Amino acid sequence: MRLKNKCRFDSLKNFKDEIDATNTLIQALEIQIEATRELLKFTKAESKPEYTKYKNLLEVSEKQIEKLYELGFVAFFANFECFMFEFLKELFRKYPSSFKSEKIVRFEDIKGFENVSDIKDYFIDSYAIEKSYDIETWTNFLAQKFDIKIFKNKKDLQRFKALNSLRNLILHSGSKTNSKFRNEMKIFIKSSVPLGRSFNLDRKKYFAILYAMLKLMIITIERK
């Protein structure tokens, strides 16, 4: 099925706005940190007796800036996962013939609904969750059902999945490396990743890589 006017999809526009807002916020905060450093030097604030009260709030280390980009990196994936789900829901609503689910109806699932429209929304919602459960399922479904190829080739998909593995490591493993992470990052890192250690990758670099990939994803969908 070929689509028309995809760039008019609210989910796509919202996704674009969200990642741009996230990027702008992180960049603005780093600039403000640097401006504060210069201001402190200019005013010789460190020599003031009361400076120690505010030192921890005014001085931001490079490690803390890395943490800032780490937070932005995680936020990008939150933006993306919301888009995965919302885009499918919008596609199903705009193209009803594309929506087909083999889900068995249980009375407990629909007994609280007042009309057929509510039941349809329930199925669309549950089917969108099913098809956006993971990145590969989502991309394959879009390609097969709507002729939308998110990634140019398999290697690009692997890169994106590797970035998602990095996000999962941050969220679920306290940034400590494991065998799954080591295998998925081979496409980025030639040397072996040590196990059970805090990863020392440049957060700012991977923040920029992910932002570029998400922007390219949007362009690819709009131009299809």
Please give the average per-residue pLDDT across 209-224, as a whole number: 91
**Residue 71 CB partners (closer than 8 Å, separation 6+):** 26
Instruction: Please compute, for residue 6, the number of CA atoms within 13 A of its CA located in the half-sphere on the CB side.
Output: 20
Instruction: Return the DSSP state at 95.
Output: -
- What is the predicted pLDDT for the residue at 21? 97
pTM metric for this prediction: 0.84
pLDDT digits (tens, 9 = 90+) for 25-53: 999 999 999 999 999 889 888 888 888 88
- What is the predicted pLDDT for the residue at 117? 77
CA 82 to chain centre: 8
Please give the average per-residue pLDDT across 9-24, as a whole number: 96
Please give the average per-residue pLDDT across 57-77, as a whole number: 92
Is residue 6's pLDDT more than 60?
no
Instruction: Name the nearest CA neighbour of 213 among 193, 187, 195.
Output: 187
Domain extents for the chain?
A: 6-87+147-223
- What is the predicted pLDDT for the residue at 166? 84
CB-CB neighbours of 169 under 10 Å: 21
- What is the predicted pLDDT for the residue at 102? 57
In angstroms, the CA 129 to CA 134 distance is 9
First-residue to last-residue Cα distance in the chain: 12
Banded model confidence at residue 97, pLDDT cuts 50, 70, 90: confident
